Structure 1
Amino acid sequence: MRGKGKGSWLDSLRRAAARMGAFFRKEPMDRELEAEVAAHIEMATAENLQRGMTPEEARRQALVRFGGVEQAKERQRESRGLPWLDTVLQDLRYTMRTLGRDRGFATIAILILALGIGANVVVFSVVNTILLRPLPFYDPSRLVWIAPADAKGLSASTYSVDAYEDLRLMNRSYEDVTGYFAFSTEDNYKLTGRGVPLPVTGIMVAGNFLHVLGVEPMLGRQFTPEESIKGGPAAVMLSHAFWQRQFGGDRSLIGKAIAFDGKPVTVAGVLPESFDFGAAFSPGARVDVLTPLIMDDIRYQGNTLTFLGRLKPGVTLAQARAEATTLFPQFYWGKRFPESKGNYKDAARPVPLKEYVSGKLQRSLVVLWCAVGLILLIVCVNLSNLLLARSAARSKEFALRSALGAGRARLIRQLLTESLVLAGAGAALGLGLAYALLRYLAHQGSIALPLLSSVRLDGTALGWSLLITVSTAVLFGLVPGMRASRANVQEALKDGGHGTTEGRQHERMRTALVVSEVALACVLLVGAGLLLRSFLRVLDVDLGFQPSTAAAVRVDYDESMSTEKRSAMLEDLAHRVGGLPGVEEVGFSDNLPLDRNRSWGAPRIKGKTYKPGELQGAFVYIVSPGYLKAMGMRLRGRDFTWQDNDKSEGAVVLNESAAKGLWPGEDAVGKMAVIGKKDVRVIGVIADVSDTNVEGKSSWQMYLPMMQKDWGPDGATLVVRTKLPPEQLAGSVMRTLREINPNQPAVEFRPLQRLVDHAVSPRQFFMMLVGVFAALGLVLASLGIYGVISYSVTRRTQEIGVRMALGASPGNVQMGVLSKTLRMAAAGIAVGAVVSIAVANLIASLLFGTTPTDPTTFVAMAVLLGAVAALAGYLPARRASRINPMVALRNE
């Protein structure tokens, strides 16, 4: 038995070697085969001659008895060598010759495929980066974000230092808990000792922050415990981009001191390129450095810390949530540090860090993915139409190949090979387009999408491109291949005539494909229209301030100076900047709307007792005189003056929501309120200002004077309203700032409109992409309509000539062609409108101020599609009306 098995194995090896050798010797063997066939036919012919047949009849009978010569050759070829590889190479060679003869068709098909596949690769890469790919941390599935459910604003989603220390001590669910200071501002540090001070944005993180995330520095070390205590050595961790940009990637910098804020700070390490703090935790923000958070410095500032934790192995999220329900209320008011206020009766709700980072975008990204999938489907339908027209023109070729022995499977395989070659070329070009676009998106810091800076064309995206390339080739090549494979000599000859059954079948199928193409384009257009209407409604939202012609710049000053000196310095600066040409209003604030935010305890009516939870917290802005006017806010009452200092009565300006909440039905101006333990008078009420986002309802807001020491500002931002473009005024403002403070860093004088643009950038991003896809779908649909109508006119040239010879006018001919065009468009619009209603209801949560069945959008999209369809049909109709009857009849 073993010997027999060994012999069988050797025989198989010999047969394989023979086939391989035959494959590489196929040309000589083909010549031998032809000689052998010719010899068989000559012998049969000779026998027939001996039977008394004429030479012609003898050869004819020999061929009949032998059977199809080419079929016999094909059977013999398939019995030798590697038939599948031989066939594939034959199909490829034939495909290249065929496409080379029809370069116009090949070019159009490749361009259409490149757009469809490239768009799909780009969207998949974005979806993969934000939704599918794990976060760039060690074992990210065990990382959780800890915050109260549905918290609004930073103060409501952060905790105090004592809560942080108690949670680390008392929990049983986490390996460790970490956090960072949530209220860091842009350009909050400055790099000195290198000429003009350079603004640097840094985040203070707990000493164990990188350890909990599982991030190891690319160079150097993590922070030491000594660097996280008050009075310890100062250290900094550089981001990879900042290290490259400012220090040229100097590896010798590790362990050396650089000057931050005029003080020596040791460079502990450089973060890996894959770690971008802003991309994960503050989309759209640039973070240059991390510094160790000194807990004692912020212990009495209230809720300022974010919480992140790493679950212990085997601990579920449900267990962590159950523990938080019982644990967090024990932190109420703090036990070890009563002065550090914290109200945690509402338990924290841990969520997976991935969900916190990108969960809110899931629905939008899925919609975007579906939209680009529709584009690929439209591409397939369009190319199927082109291939059907092309296969109709090649019907005689396919029938002749069938007569010569090519089976149905061989014809289908040949056409699928052509589809694969076209799809492969389109994918190669599409990947080039996708690569360029992804690089552009990765450097768009103005788009507030998480992890966008890490989007790239990776192996997963390449695998996806391969999948959709093959799928697309099969989708648009299978139907024409099935149709062509059914052709035979007789039907092909009939199809070569005019008005035959096969010709009409081709036309009906192409018409059905165009109707489906228009329907898909209609769905895309309606979705894009609804998102566009929503975006326009967002832009029409009353922000409560006027961002146009206003700009802001962060002012550097010594924060240790007294309230009186700070007020005098700011008043002097306001006077100098206000005197610059083109400046209308000037003011200061430690915070801007739609930027970072903080909330304090709610203002209360003096002498009134409130039940727990009856009042909501208020967002707080510490401002100077002129700020409200510089922002373009609508004020009722009076503004602050520089005399609203510690020697005067406490003052506050409330927004309308806070005023109505405290004194419903009354005028709040002039009323007394209590903030903390201080009595203040309401000197004015302003219209509600968008605080955390443009689309949400405004919270309570209160504006307090920075001239009073009870309300110490966290820095100062100069706001200037100007008649000039901000970039023209930037140089004058910066020179004025340096006249007062030579160490003022070269910070950017940024327009306030940028805050609004940043807030709406995610919606704008999705709207623009869907809009581009809708426009592409519209173009492809119009091309499909044009192709079908143009093909129909070409086939009916003689018929149209006869009609015109019998008296039909050019106008009648045009109307006939246009009516067919509009019937196809109307059918597609009707189907698309029904599907669009269902799709619009699915994306209702993404709409703002717009209903899913918005009649304006549906009517506008139907009119647009109809107009484009009429234009696409007009060109063939015009050509049809110019047919010369005599020429057409002569050709007939």
Structure 2
Amino acid sequence: MKKTPIWRRYDRLLGQDNKADIKAELRFHIDCKIDELIACGWRPEAARKEAEQQFGNILAVQRAGERIGEHMERRRRITDYIAECQQDTRYTLRTLAKNPAFTAIAVLVLALGVGVNAAVFSVVNTMLLRPLPFPQAQQLVWFRAGKSFDAKIRAAGGLSADTYTVDVYREFQRNNRSFQDVTAYQTFYGSLQYKMTGVGEPRQLDAVEVAGNFFPMLGVTPALGRNFTNEETLKGGRPAAILSYYFWKTQFAGDPGVIGRTVEINTSPAGVNGPVTIVGVLPASFDFGAVFSPGKKVDLFVPVVMDYWKTWGNTLAMVGRLKPGVTEAQAQDEANRLFPLMKTQHQDWYYDYASDLSTLKDHVAGKLRRSLVVLWCAVGLILLIVCVNLSNLQLSRAATRGKEFAMRRALGAGRGRLIRQLLTESLILSAAGSVLGFGFAYAIVYELAHQSSISLPLLATMHVDLESLAWTLLIAIATGILFGLAPALRMSGVNLQEAIKDNASGMAAGRSHERFRSTLVISEVALACVLLVGAGLLLRSFLRVLDVDLGFKPAHAVAMQIDLPPANNNDQLIQRTNILKAEIDKVSALPGVQAVGVTDLLPLDRNREWGLESDGRYHAKDADRGALVYLVTPGYLQAMGMRLVAGRDFTWHDAPSDQHVLIINQAAARREWPGEDPVGKLAHATSKNSDRIIGVVADVRESSLEQESSPTIYVPMTQNSDVEGANLIVRSLDSIVNQAEVLAALRSLNPSQPASEFRPLRTLVDHSVSPRRFFVLLVTIFATLGILLAALGIYGVISYSITQKTQEIGVRMALGATTGRVQRDVLWQTLRMALAGLALGTVASLGVARLIASLLFDTSPWDPVAYVAMAASLIAIALLSGYLPARRASRIHPMQALRSN
């Protein structure tokens, strides 16, 4: 038998070689058999052939052995790896338990970083990533209508420029080939005011009129009952209603027996008056306001009677579901061809309709895409700052363990094993912080989802789900690796001889890490710079928005919905005018009331468009002649705090039989009578006959604070009955008028006046700016958190540096260095890091500012105030962070420092 070569004896030091071991084992047994046969008298060649024949297919046996060996080796490695991980975990837990202050700080910082990231991911996931809460939601398409695709014209026209007439809806529904179905709802759902009686005191309801196929087309099945029938959608059909889940729970205590029950509902100024049958209850997952009207709570849905709205102009919003295999581009192409064709067949249509199709998801949240991406990037920067901070903490902690790592390496531990040990520590810290952060994120998301004051789409549907949990797990692992890898690589590569010879203070090790840790702090300051500049620009922009001239005074004024009788002829209009005058006089007599008026619509809320053309002037065919319309009573301008710049206000003597009069805003005057005084001029707006302009008011921000005023006309309710609801405006002297007194005064004249909450006009402004306020608030919070973390990083580095230089400072003070000199040196070290980070951060901020320029209002991306404020804040925070260690350094006693090891 051959001897094992000497190189094979030492080859195992390089690791297992299963193939060589199996081959050697087989060769050993064959050689033994050959020796046995030779001993029995066989010749060597014959003995070899006989031995190999007895063993059979040696190659097959060898391969089988290799497979068994590989399997056993794999199991051994897995077992060893698990055992080593368990050992690393137990060691980490013991180590962290011995240092509770470090553990608590690290877990808390991680919880903040991971928590805000998970919370913002839930917001982004709800509004951008997750499909709408409807089956096959990607097939749902939103129709945006208008006279043209000109954005300015659409903005000026309000809802009227984005909606369709009943005839257009019916024609497109009948003629298209791209959609499974097309449905609609009445956009001006405040036009009819619903009042429920017979269930407690009279109550005002928020109702939306929808087409009979609205819920089936969306894929929404009532949780109880059924959908509307065809009969219920016809004029004169049986009145029916479907309740929202929230209204069913609050008003009817979740009683399943409500199906088939009749309730008394009166509609003002016209519509249903009498018993209405409840035919269904929608599921809790359906929230009309979250998708179609952010911030609105809907009580019930009723069928939209198309024949009633047929003569009202553009009132319907359209939604369609594409057929399988049909793309959005194909549907857009068909709409581009079909609408002009339908116009040629219907010369009575007064719009050259054009539709800009988009997915319903894009319509709902597309405008927020850039803001949400900026918000997501902001929390990403927070997470990077957290990682840099924890890397510094790990380095300062690991530097004191230099001898431990050097000794373990000297005893045979590989560098990979040390790296794995340090990464285990960081991952365990990250896991603990992520668990706490996930709870933090859940609380944030729950609070945001229940914020009715924030007008953001889909916000009410936001929740923490499995995707949020998966994201939290992902960032927990990524964070643990990010903040643990650099210290692990740094400490595992320590020089053994220097570390073992180093004295107890670890001076050499500390100095070798100081530059690296300073670099980390500089990057931390640079990231904080970017956050501060972004927050500063957005905050300045937000303040500019709030500083615009609204055209009315929201302070000390409230709105309240009131019951309004129908007026289908002049006699009824006169009767309604008398009722309104009596109610206004009654409320005006209350203590503290300064002015009272009534309007059908409110600025910064819903709006609609009528035509306005000056008499005797040429108008180009394609020129925009639309104007927003408000029907108001005398006293409205004073109640709103609007400024009359020319002419007079309406009076109660402006009767239906008199010449119709108008008040216009300055934007309408500039468009129709440029450079002229419009008072006394004639125009076409409300009737076939000419209307006389009697006054001009200052421009009001009707659509949003960020959009210039559109041409607007104010029509007296004493001459026109086409109101869309009625809002009583009450302006008080110093404080809000008592709601109960106002309601009692109204009910003394109209006992059926429903209970209605006061709505401060300030909420109109708050509602309009709530999306911008939401993003600015979050980015500002993140920037504050970032600068605090940067301050913590600076403090940690300077404190560690002072500890490492204790003997040096003691020697300097023993040689005559003053307390002030020591403090100045420490502060200069702090300032150098802050200035380096400030320089890098400023350059990065200039690039970021260009990316968020579209989110700014009347604010330059290079706004010097934002950059100066950022620099001043960072330098102040840095000096404050360095002052405490500097003060401690200046109090070091020379003898105590010289005696320290």
Normalising by structure 1, we get a TM-score of 0.90
Partner of 1:33: none
Partner of 1:674: 684
- Rounded to whole Å, the distance in 2 between the matches of 1:332 and 1:553 is 41
Which stretch of structure 1 is more off in the superposition, 794-803 or 612-621? 612-621
Partner of 1:394: 401
Counterparts of 1:586-735 in structure 2 under 5 Å?
A: 586-601=596-611, 603-636=612-645, 637-675=647-685, 676-709=687-720, 711-726=721-736, 728-735=737-744
Counterparts of 1:454-603 in structure 2 under 5 Å?
A: 454-496=461-503, 502-560=509-567, 562-601=572-611, 603=612
1:164 aligns with 2:169: yes
Give the letter for the 2:489 counterpart.
M
Give the letter for the 2:83 counterpart.
D
- Rounded to whole Å, the distance in 1 between the matches of 2:899 and 2:667 is 84
1:374 aligns with 2:385: no
Partner of 1:57: none
Match of 1:878 among 881, 887, 892: 887
1:212 aligns with 2:212: no
Partner of 1:449: 456
Give 1:334 deviation, angstroms: 7.6
1:187-232 Cα shifts (integer Å, max 9, x gaps): 9323321211222211100001111111112222111111100111
Partner of 1:201: 206
1:244 aligns with 2:249: yes
Give 1:712 deviation, angstroms: 2.6
1:101 aligns with 2:98: yes
Partner of 1:311: 322
1:573-628 Cα shifts (integer Å, max 9, x gaps): 11111111111011010001011000011x22223342212243000000000001
Partner of 1:845: 854
Question: In 1, are the aligned partners of 2:191 and 2:725 still within 8 Å (CA)?
Answer: no
Question: In 2, are the aligned partners of 1:589 and 1:627 still within 8 Å (CA)?
Answer: yes
Match of 1:813 among 819, 822, 843: 822
**What secondary structure does 1:266 align onto?**
strand
1:118 aligns with 2:115: yes
1:659-686 Cα shifts (integer Å, max 9, x gaps): 1111111111122222241312111101
Give 1:889 deviation, angstroms: 1.3
Partner of 2:12: none
Match of 2:89 among 92, 97, 103: 92
Change (3 A) 1:16 1:735: farther
1:431-462 Cα shifts (integer Å, max 9, x gaps): 11111111111111221111000111101111
Give the letter for the 1:722 counterpart.
S
Which stretch of structure 1 is more off in the superposition, 235-244 or 846-855? 235-244
Question: In 2, are the aligned partners of 1:382 and 1:517 still within 8 Å (CA)?
Answer: yes
Give the letter for the 1:218 counterpart.
A
Which stretch of structure 1 is more off in the superposition, 416-425 or 196-205? 196-205
Question: In 2, are the aligned partners of 1:135 and 1:354 still within 8 Å (CA)?
Answer: yes
Question: In 2, are the aligned partners of 1:328 and 1:344 still within 8 Å (CA)?
Answer: no
- Rounded to whole Å, the distance in 2 between the matches of 1:200 and 1:250 is 19
Give the letter for the 2:537 counterpart.
L
Query: Over the residues paired in the alignment, what is the CA RMSD in angstroms?
Result: 2.1
- Rounded to whole Å, the distance in 1 between the matches of 2:655 and 2:192 is 28
Where do 5+ consecutive residues of structure 1 fail to align?
20-78
Give the letter for the 1:470 counterpart.
I
Which stretch of structure 1 is more off in the superposition, 837-846 or 483-492? 483-492
Where do 5+ consecutive residues of structure 2 fail to align?
1-56, 267-272
Question: In 1, are the aligned partners of 2:597 and 2:633 still within 8 Å (CA)?
Answer: yes
1:553-579 Cα shifts (integer Å, max 9, x gaps): 000133257111110011011111111
Give 1:501 deviation, angstroms: 5.3
- Rounded to whole Å, the distance in 2 between the matches of 1:712 and 1:505 is 81
Which stretch of structure 1 is more off in the superposition, 91-100 or 232-241? 232-241
Give the letter for the 2:695 counterpart.
G
- Rounded to whole Å, the distance in 2 between the matches of 1:553 and 1:423 is 52
- Rounded to whole Å, the distance in 2 between the matches of 1:523 and 1:755 is 33
Give the letter for the 2:381 counterpart.
L
- Rounded to whole Å, the distance in 2 between the matches of 1:124 and 1:782 is 26
Give 1:752 deviation, angstroms: 0.2
1:266 aligns with 2:277: yes
Give the letter for the 1:825 counterpart.
A
Give 1:488 deviation, angstroms: 4.4
- Rounded to whole Å, the distance in 2 between the matches of 1:238 and 1:456 is 24
Partner of 1:141: 138
Question: In 2, are the aligned partners of 1:599 and 1:618 still within 8 Å (CA)?
Answer: yes
Question: In 2, are the aligned partners of 1:333 and 1:342 still within 8 Å (CA)?
Answer: no
1:106-144 Cα shifts (integer Å, max 9, x gaps): 000000000000000000000000000011111111111
Partner of 2:783: 774
Give the letter for the 1:468 counterpart.
I
Identity fraction in percent: 55
Partner of 1:855: 864
Give the letter for the 2:306 counterpart.
M
Question: In 1, are the aligned partners of 2:567 and 2:573 still within 8 Å (CA)?
Answer: no
**What secondary structure does 2:186 align onto?**
coil
Partner of 1:801: 810
Question: In 2, are the aligned partners of 1:550 and 1:721 still within 8 Å (CA)?
Answer: yes
1:802-842 Cα shifts (integer Å, max 9, x gaps): 10110110000000000010110011011000000000000
**What secondary structure does 2:654 align onto?**
coil
Question: In 2, are the aligned partners of 1:162 and 1:334 still within 8 Å (CA)?
Answer: no
Normalising by structure 2, we get a TM-score of 0.89
- Rounded to whole Å, the distance in 2 between the matches of 1:87 and 1:890 is 42
- Rounded to whole Å, the distance in 2 between the matches of 1:606 and 1:761 is 41
Give the letter for the 1:629 counterpart.
Q
Give 1:855 deviation, angstroms: 0.5
- Rounded to whole Å, the distance in 2 between the matches of 1:437 and 1:278 is 21
Which stretch of structure 1 is more off in the superposition, 558-567 or 797-806? 558-567
- Rounded to whole Å, the distance in 1 between the matches of 2:892 and 2:66 is 71
Change (3 A) 1:543 1:493: same
Question: In 2, are the aligned partners of 1:378 and 1:780 still within 8 Å (CA)?
Answer: yes
1:403 aligns with 2:410: yes
- Rounded to whole Å, the distance in 2 between the matches of 1:306 and 1:334 is 22
- Rounded to whole Å, the distance in 2 between the matches of 1:412 and 1:168 is 66
Give the letter for the 1:599 counterpart.
E
1:286 aligns with 2:297: yes
- Rounded to whole Å, the distance in 1 between the matches of 2:550 and 2:657 is 34
Change (3 A) 1:333 1:385: same
- Rounded to whole Å, the distance in 2 between the matches of 1:548 and 1:661 is 31
**What secondary structure does 1:179 align onto?**
strand
- Rounded to whole Å, the distance in 2 between the matches of 1:645 and 1:583 is 27
- Rounded to whole Å, the distance in 2 between the matches of 1:478 and 1:670 is 79
Give 1:5 deviation, angstroms: 10
Which stretch of structure 1 is more off in the superposition, 5-14 or 402-411? 5-14
- Rounded to whole Å, the distance in 1 between the matches of 2:246 and 2:477 is 39
- Rounded to whole Å, the distance in 2 between the matches of 1:716 and 1:81 is 76
Partner of 1:412: 419
